[in-house]
Structure 1
Amino acid sequence: MSPILFYGVPEGCSFGSIVALEWSGKPYRLCRVEMPKVVSGDDYKRINAIGETPSLMLGDGRVINESMAILNCIASDHIGKGLGFAQGSAEFDRLNQILAYLNTSFFNAFSPLWYSIEHELEPEAKKALVAYGVAKVEKVHSELEQLLDGRMWLVDKGPSLADAYFAGIARWNDFHNVVDRKQFPALNSLYERLQENPAVRFALAIEHEQQVESSGRFLGHVSLDEALGYLKQAA
């Protein structure tokens, strides 16, 4: 059985894992998980007990949760090919440093803004929360500009899985209309370069349920019921 990635819509951070699988060139399938209804339901919690995406079901039925773990799993099959790097190398350490930053500081900077949309709040409380979120988003954009430090890509001389993950989170700035990315030339250049990448275009089309041709080895969608059937077989 080829791996199945469970990706969340709309605007899920699992976007980066779709991009990574496209870049990997290995066969995979996708399972679309609507947020918040399906992702928090009992059926999906059989895949991921905490009700979050992404999750990756491997060919043997084993399930990996959390973006960093999934991306590192994909990277492990591509050591020396630009996506993954040998443990102990400078590139490996840089990849994990950047992934950790994206997964904590960069991701979490948008949390107040998502909360302000998803929950009913008193006007003054919402205003304060949004202001807090905007300040955090501005801060992490400035920090990431410094972390790029003149590089074209986040890790090495070409796109890595850190860039894939970045592509999925950085677009939240446009959704919330926070900062003018052009204030951060290196970061803006990276973002715009990624928008032209076939795998990024593919992931965006998949999210919007548009017809699109894979540049990787995408084998199609499976329903959640089908995926749960594979889970039972593996057990």
Structure 2
Amino acid sequence: MEPVLFYGVPHGCSFGSIVALEWLGEPYRLCRIDMLSKPEGEAFSRVSPLGETPALLLEDGRALTESFAIMHNIGARKLERKLCFAQGTPEFDRLNSVLAYLHTTFHSAFSPAWAAYKLAENDPNRQVLRALARDKAARSYEHLQDMRDGREWLAGGDAKSLADAYFIGIARWGEDLGLFDLSKEYPLLHRHMQKLEADPGVIFAHAIEDENPATSSGGFRGHTTLDELNPRLAA
């Protein structure tokens, strides 16, 4: 029985978990959750008590929430893929540090802008929130650009890792929300994003989000629904 990733749209941070699953190459399924409709119901609450995505339904019926934990679960499934590393190694510590920064500081920097996104255009709080988000996110982009300087991949090493998968799902928000022109303001980081955007796993994740035809180079076994998962969730 494959794990099932519950991913949020539009443009959720669960994008990175889809990319990571594609890079892993093991069988998995997806369940689409529209976050703007404020998903509720007993079935989804059994997977995600706070009603948030991503969430991962594991093979044994347990549910795992929080991108940080889900990413590590994916990477640990096949360490030879080098998406993750053995705990206790310098490589693991470096990756863990970058993932933690992305999951906390970088992700949360955009929270005011997402709050503004839900407000009416003429709401006076909208521009205040957007300005706050730009200020906070700018510091993160600068730090990540410095971190990327001299490295081929965000967490170092000779191969893409979980950090790159999670990064590309968050870093796009700067332009999605109209806060930055990343190619002009952070050119080194933007080049890294462009390299990742050309990756088949990232292309696949975009197609999944946009509900376009998607060709998996990994282990995607199709979508499922909460109704179809009810017997598994009840167990």
TM class by shorter-chain length?
over 0.9
Percent identity over the alignment?
47
- What is the rounded CA distance, in whole Å, between the counterparts of 2:41 and 2:192 in structure 1? 37
Residue type matched to 2:14 in 1? S
Indicate the residue corresponding to 2:74 in structure 1.
Answer: 74
The alignment of Structure 1 onto Structure 2 pairs a total of residues equal to: 233
Please state how far the C-alpha of 1:84 moved relative to its aligned partner: 1.3
**Alpha-carbon distance, 1:24 to partner:** 0.4
CA contact (8 A) 1:39 1:53 kept: no
- Tell me the equivalent position of 2:190: 188
Q: Is the 8 A contact 1:113 1:129 kept in 2?
A: yes
Shift of 1:158: 1.4
Q: Does the alignment pair 1:21 with 2:21? A: yes
Note the 1:41-120 alignment, pairs <5 A: 41-120=41-120
Stretches of 4+ aligned residues off by more than 4 angstroms: none
Report the equivalent of 2:199.
197
TM superposition shift of 1:88: 1.3
Q: Tell whether the 8 Å contact from 1:150 to 1:186 is kept in structure 2 after alignment.
A: no
Q: Which runs of 5+ in 1 are unaligned?
A: none
Deviations 1:199-224 (A, max 9, x none): 00000000111112100010000011
Give the SS at the match of 1:36: helix
Other structure's SS at 2:36 match: coil
In structure 1, what is the Cα distance between the partners aligned to 2:147 and 2:106? 12
Q: Which residue of 2 aligns with 1:174?
A: 175
Partners of 1:33 and 1:184 lie apart in 2 by: 32
Match of 2:39 in 1: 39
Taking the aligned partners of 1:43 and 1:61, their CA distance within structure 2 comes to 13
**Cα drift, residue 40 of structure 1:** 4.1
**Aligned Cα root-mean-square deviation (Å):** 1.5
Q: 1-side partners of 2:42 and 2:133: how far apart?
A: 31
The 8 Å contact of residues 25 and 219 in structure 2, kept in 1 or not, is answered as yes
Which stretches in structure 2 are left out of the alignment for 5+ residues? Answer: none
Alpha-carbon distance between aligned partners in 2 of 1:148 and 1:140, rounded to the nearest angstrom: 12
